[in-house]
Amino acid sequence: MSELYRMLAFRELGDERGNLIAIEGGQDIPFEIQRIFYMYGTDETMVRGQHANRNSQFVLVNVSGASTIRVCDGLGQEAEVRLDQPRTAIYIPRMIWKEMKDFSRDSVILCLTDTHYDPDEYIRDYEVYKQEMQKLVK
The residues that are catalytic are 51
CA pair distance 48, 79, nearest whole angstrom: 16
Residue 48 bridge partners (DSSP):
100
- Residue 99 dihedral angles phi and psi, to the nearest 5°: -140, 140
Half-sphere exposure of 59 (CA within 13 A, CB side): 26
Angle subtended at Cα 91 by Cα 90 and Cα 95, rounded to the nearest 5 degrees: 125
CA pair distance 97, 4, nearest whole angstrom: 9
